[in-house]
Amino acid sequence: MENQEKKENSSSVRQSEREQSRRAEMSRRRRKRQLMRRVTFVVSGILFVAAVGSIIWNVAVKKDTPAFVNQGEENITVPRPDIDVQLLTVNPNSRPGIATDRIRGIVVHYTANPGSTAQQNRDYFESLKDSQETSVSSNFVIGLEGEIIQCVPTAEMAYASNNRNSDTVSIECCHPDESGKFTDATYKSLVQLVAWLSQKFGLDTDDIIRHYDVTGKDCPKYFVENVEAWEQFKKDVADYIAKYD
Ligand SMILES: [Zn+2]
Q: pTM here?
A: 0.72
CA distance 136 to 95: 9
Same domain (yes/no): 121, 163: yes
pLDDT in tens, 137-162: 999 999 999 999 999 999 999 999 99
For residue 80, how far is its CA from the centre of ligand 1 (angstroms)? 24
Radius of gyration over every alpha carbon of the chain, rounded to an integer in angstroms: 34
Q: Please tell me the distance between residue 212's alpha carbon and the centre of ligand 1 in angstroms.
A: 7
How much is the average pLDDT of 228-238?
Answer: 98
Here the CATH number for the domain that contains residue 106 is: 3.40.80.10
Residue 15 Cα, ligand 1 centroid: separation in angstroms? Answer: 90
User: What pLDDT shows up at residue 53?
Assistant: 61
Residues 131 and 228 in one domain: yes
Full domain range(s) for residue 84: 73-243
The whole-number pLDDT of residue 36 equals 78
Q: Are residue 38 and residue 123 in the same domain, yes or no?
A: no
* pLDDT single digits (tens) 25-76: 777 888 888 877 886 777 676 666 666 666 455 545 444 344 444 565 668 9
Closest CA to 101 of 171, 154, 162, 159: 154
The answer on 106 and 131 residing in a single domain is yes
State mean pLDDT over 168-186: 98
